[in-house]
């Protein structure tokens, strides 16, 4: 009973902190005209909206983690704080005045190095993917750094419409948090539930019509935390004695399936079209769904359900080989992407709105 009350308290405190801080952040942003640049063509809103929502849940999560840190040494908190401060700072700079994509990538590389080498947050086993199991130290560091950079960018890129990145962040943090709790990883579970609680409170202001965005400071930070959760889950699964945990890499992939697939899709499309993979466009999955006539809320709801369905698949087939599960995920994603493109093609020939079909 005590662990449940503890996690409930951590979640509740995180929610309360964000609800207290966020109105002040919105007020300060409006007073100083710190708005989203709605003049950019790819933006969805025709009015200025503050971009500093990440400030509120960053403060909430850090304060909660300071309380968690007193209870043990299961997490490298010093490295987490150092990495998060660096990433949060570059995110704030980007939100306020812009940052070149190469600078952001260099900072992400630094952050991933801090987490993997001094922090020792690493993937040490591929669980049979590509017929590889145990990894040596150097391959482990390189693969882990690439995974962290990829997930950070995935959340940064998926944050394109009201409520989407926050919703996917809630699902991811709560999914990982539940299994950390089952595995007896108190600090990780508390940090995950704190993240989920902070994002739940933030979404009260971010669902359409949004009153504030999380901005790069928020999306980069949430991406970093989800990367840490995914890697720690894979590592714990390797050594845990808890019976019936889901297949680690496949489950982690299922939890992060939407931002991961979207990132791969847009990068491949840009390269195929001989454009820079760093150049923003409107080829994201959420942009294409909006073109079908779906609203922000409908799109967010559908992609959240898709994530939950993939998590369900990972749980149902948890005894299967990780590589086979990942291949199944890719096949389903390609079919779904093909269906989406087919509907867009049909819409260009005959006027209809999918949004009308689902209310």
* Dist. CA 221–CA 239, nearest whole Å: 28
Tally Cβ neighbours within 10 Å of residue 316. 10
Nearest in space to 148 (alpha carbons), one of 258, 88, 226, 93? 226
| Cβ-Cβ contacts under 8 Å for 241 (sequence gap 6 or more) | none
Angle at the Cα of 306 (from 300 to 312), degrees rounded to 5? 140
Mean of the per-residue pLDDT values for the chain? 89
CA dihedral 34, 204, 305, 297 (to 10 degrees): -60
Residues belonging to the binding site are 156, 216
Over range 81-110, report the average pLDDT. Answer: 95
Residues belonging to the binding site for Mg(2+) are 156, 216
| Cβ-Cβ contacts under 8 Å for 91 (sequence gap 6 or more) | 54, 215, 216, 217, 218, 219, 220, 221
Residue 319 confidence (pLDDT)? 84
Tally Cβ neighbours within 10 Å of residue 4. 9
Look up the pTM and report it. Answer: 0.92
202, 56 in Cβ contact below 8 A?
A: yes
Residue 340 confidence (pLDDT)? 94
* Dist. CA 334–CA 339, nearest whole Å: 9
Tokens of 32: 């100083």
* Dist. CA 94–CA 153, nearest whole Å: 14
Lowest pLDDT segment from 1-5, 47-51, 295-299: 1-5
Of 47 and 193, the structure prediction assigns the larger pLDDT to: 193
290 alpha carbon, distance to own chain's centre: 20
- Whether the per-residue pLDDT at 239 is higher than 80: the answer is no
| Cβ-Cβ contacts under 8 Å for 1 (sequence gap 6 or more) | none
* Dist. CA 234–CA 133, nearest whole Å: 12
Report the range out of 23-32, 36-45, 250-259, 312-321 with the highest average pLDDT.
250-259
Tokens of 282: 């409107």
Tokens of 92: 């704030």
186, 269 in Cβ contact below 8 A?
A: no
Summarised one tens digit per residue, pLDDT across range 28-49 is 988 887 765 544 444 554 457 8
DSSP sequence for 269-296: HHHHTT--TTS--S-SHHHHHHHTT--H
| Cβ-Cβ contacts under 8 Å for 117 (sequence gap 6 or more) | 141
**Which residue shows structure tokens 């714990």?**
236
DSSP sequence for 5-33: HHHHHHHHHHHHHHHHHHHHHHHHHHHTT
Summarised one tens digit per residue, pLDDT across range 152-184 is 999 999 999 999 999 999 999 999 999 999 988
* Dist. CA 64–CA 193, nearest whole Å: 10
Of 359 and 7, the structure prediction assigns the larger pLDDT to: 7
* Dist. CA 112–CA 146, nearest whole Å: 8
Residue 245 confidence (pLDDT)? 67
**Cross-strand partners of 35:** 50
* Dist. CA 303–CA 336, nearest whole Å: 11
CA dihedral 267, 326, 186, 165 (to 10 degrees): 30
């Amino acid at each position: 009973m005590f662990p449940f009350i503890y996690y409930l308290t951590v979640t509740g405190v995180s929610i309360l902190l964000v609800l207290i801080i966020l109105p002040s952040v919105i007020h300060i942003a409006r007073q100083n005209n710190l708005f989203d640049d709605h003049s950019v063509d790819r933006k969805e809103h025709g009015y200025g909206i503050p971009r500093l929502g990440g400030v509120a849940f960053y403060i909430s999560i850090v304060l909660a983690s300071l309380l968690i840190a007193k209870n043990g040494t299961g997490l490298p908190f010093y490295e987490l704080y150092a990495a998060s401060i660096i990433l949060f700072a570059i995110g704030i700079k980007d939100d306020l005045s812009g940052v070149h994509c190469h600078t952001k990538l260099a900072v992400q590389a630094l952050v991933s190095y801090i987490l993997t080498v001094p922090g020792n947050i690493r993937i040490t086993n591929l669980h049979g993917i590509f017929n590889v199991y145990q990894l040596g130290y150097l391959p482990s560091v390189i693969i882990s750094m690439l995974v962290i950079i990829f997930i950070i960018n995935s959340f940064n890129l998926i944050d394109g419409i009201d409520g989407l990145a926050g919703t996917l962040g809630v699902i991811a943090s709560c999914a990982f948090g539940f299994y950390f709790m089952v595995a007896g990883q108190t600090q990780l579970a508390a940090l995950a539930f704190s993240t989920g609680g902070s994002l739940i409170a933030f979404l009260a202001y971010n669902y359409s019509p949004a009153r504030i965005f999380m901005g790069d400071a928020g999306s980069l930070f949430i991406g970093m935390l989800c990367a840490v959760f995914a890697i720690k889950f894979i590592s714990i699964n390797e050594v845990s004695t808890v019976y019936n945990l889901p297949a680690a890499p496949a489950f982690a992939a299922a939890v992060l399936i939407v931002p991961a697939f979207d990132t791969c899709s847009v990068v491949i499309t840009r390269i195929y079209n001989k454009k820079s993979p760093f150049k923003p466009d409107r080829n994201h999955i959420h942009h294409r769904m909006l073109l079908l006539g779906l609203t922000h809320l409908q799109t967010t709801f559908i992609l959240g359900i898709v994530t939950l369905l993939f998590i369900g698949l990972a749980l149902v087939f948890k005894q299967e080989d990780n590589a086979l599960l990942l291949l199944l995920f890719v096949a389903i994603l390609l079919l779904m992407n093909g269906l989406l493109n087919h509907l867009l093609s049909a819409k260009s020939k005959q006027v209809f709105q999918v949004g009308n079909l689902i209310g």
